A = this chain, B = another copy of it.
Amino acid sequence: MSAYHPLNETKAIEIARNLEGIFQPQAQLACREIGDGNLNLVFHITDTSSSRSIIMKQALPYAKVVGESWPLTLDRARIESEALMLQGSLAPGLVPDVYLYDPELALTVMEDLSDHVIMRQGLMNGTRYPLFAGHISTFLAQTLFFTSDLGRNQQEKKLLVRSFTNPELCKITEDLIFDDPYRDAETNSFEETIRDEAQALWNDEELHLEVALLREKFLTRAQALLHGDLHTGSIFITPESTKVIDPEFAYFGPMGFDIGAVLANLLLNFAAREGWDKSEAERERYRAYLLDTVTDIWTQFQDKFLALWEEHGVDRLANTAPGYKENYMQRLLQDTIGYAGCKMVRRIVGLAHVADIDKLQDASAREQAQRLALRIGKSLIKLNRDADSIDQLIVAVHAASAAAKA
């Protein structure tokens, strides 16, 4: 007896026309469905008589990945819209504005960002985003601090944890990131040329221990409200603007999982440069830019997070206990490095890949990129519990690059 039904373009226009305060009564509305149809319908609705446009995103009651289809809760539309609104209030301007959420239709109406590009594509094109480290570190610091026990009333936070309970989407992460790549799983997907690398993952006991520990934290540590899927495909960008989208995996987990996701996707692009730059010099310059961005993100995140803590910390003992902040930030860095490594590994041998590498036309460049990404990913996972500086991550990347060339 649910009123849910998937929309088509005509119905989407009808709904758009009835939204208050969005379009003029005389608007000439045109609609195009621009989603990939795997998880959601995405309608782009424009008033051709003005420049006004919106996005309407409707969750589908199933997920399709690589031919497979399975049922998936519509509740993720609620989680996504609530996460967007909360993130928007904490990090204004860094997520799309939400105009409406309709629970019956699992529908979110939001700001159109067509003037932005997907960051992954921007990086593949070799574009630089000098404001990105500033923007994303603000997004991370604001959303993570103010949803944690450090920055929010601790009883309110528990109710938020309850509201962002997200078992189905968490399970996707638990399987695809923290299990399947480390065994000969049917869901895995990799080219035969790197079967040796996949097998090495399945047999690396040191790695398994670290991944088990990181998996445990993902399962149990309700530290802050995460975006939950913060790769460069979830970021709309221009050189001036950054917008984080698609938080349907949002739940309360370890902060380092979000920060690590951003760093991992910069490093996946780093590994893929062989195929994207016209010259070696250009490649080295872009790689240096990526690594500088990695360092900047962590450093600026840390500064902003500590400044928020200093000014808005609500936990008396956490505010005052000598050594606690240092201890906290070190563990956060360790988690960030560990999760960055996991996020890299899964994109090479797991179900879902990244275009940065998959779109490399040259098979040998592609294989080289895959091997380098795995080498970096594994070394970050193994480094995680020993790390106490972001420089160690950079050193590990350089070491992996040098070893890959040798």
List the interface of chain A (C-beta within 8 A of B). Answer: 149, 154-156, 158-159, 161-162, 165-168, 170-171, 174, 178-179, 182-183, 205, 208-209, 211-213, 215-216, 219-223, 315-318, 320-324, 327-328
Contact in complex: B216, A322 (CB < 8 Å): no
Give the number of copies in the complex: 2
When C-beta atoms are compared, the residue in chain B nearest to A148 turns out to be: B220
Docked-complex contact A212 and B155, CB < 8 angstroms: no
| CA–CA, A320 and B204, complex, Å | 12
Interface of A is mostly: helix
Give Cα distance in the complex from A321 to B155, angstroms.
Answer: 36
Bound-state CA distance A159–B171 (Å) is 13
- CB < 8 Å neighbour of A208 from B174, B205, B220, B322: B322
Residue in B158, B171, B208, B216 whose CB lies within 8 Å of A165 = B158
Contacts of A223 in B (CB 8 A): 220
The 4 A-B residue pairs with the shortest CB-CB distance in the complex, in nearest-first order: A155-B167, A212-B321, A208-B321, A158-B167
B155 engages A161 (CB within 8 Å)? no
- Which chain B residue shows the least CB distance to A215? B317
Q: Are A208 and B320 in contact (CB under 8 A)?
A: yes
Within 8 Å CB of A149, what residues of B? Answer: 216, 219-220
Which residues of B lie under 8 Å from residue A158 when comparing CB positions? 165-167, 170
Give A182 Cβ to nearest chain B Cβ, in Å: 7
Partner of A209, one of B183, B215, B222, B324: B324
Q: How far is the CA of A80 from the CA of B72 in the complex (A)?
A: 32
Residues of the B chain whose Cβ atoms lie less than 8 Å from the Cβ of A211? 317, 321
Of B155, B222, B316, B324, which contacts A179 at CB under 8 A? B316
In the complex, which residues of chain B have a beta carbon less than 8 angstroms from the beta carbon of A162? 162, 165
CB distance from A330 to the nearest CB of B (A): 12
14 further contact pairs, Cβ within 8 A, besides A211-B317, A216-B318 = A149-B219, A154-B167, A154-B174, A155-B167, A155-B171, A158-B166, A158-B167, A161-B161, A162-B165, A208-B324, A209-B321, A209-B323, A212-B324, A222-B222
Known A149-B220, A161-B165, A171-B155: A209·B320 in contact at CB below 8 Å: no
Q: Chain B residues near A183 (CB, 8 Å)?
A: 316
Q: Are A178 and B317 in contact (CB under 8 A)?
A: yes
CB pairs A–B below 8 angstroms (18 shown): A149-B216, A149-B219, A154-B167, A154-B174, A155-B167, A158-B167, A159-B165, A179-B317, A182-B317, A208-B321, A208-B324, A209-B321, A209-B323, A211-B317, A212-B321, A213-B324, A216-B328, A220-B221
Residues of B within 8 A of A321 (CB): 205, 208-209, 211-212
Inside 8 A of A316's CB, which chain B residues have their CB?
179, 183
CB of A248 to closest CB in B, whole Å: 16
Residue of B nearest to A251 (CB): B158
Determine if B219 and A154 form an interchain contact, defined as CB atoms under 8 angstroms apart. Answer: yes
State A178–B208 Cα separation when bound (angstroms).
35
The chain B residue with its CB closest to the CB of A322 is: B205
Inside 8 A of A328's CB, which chain B residues have their CB?
Answer: 216
Closest to A205 in B: B322
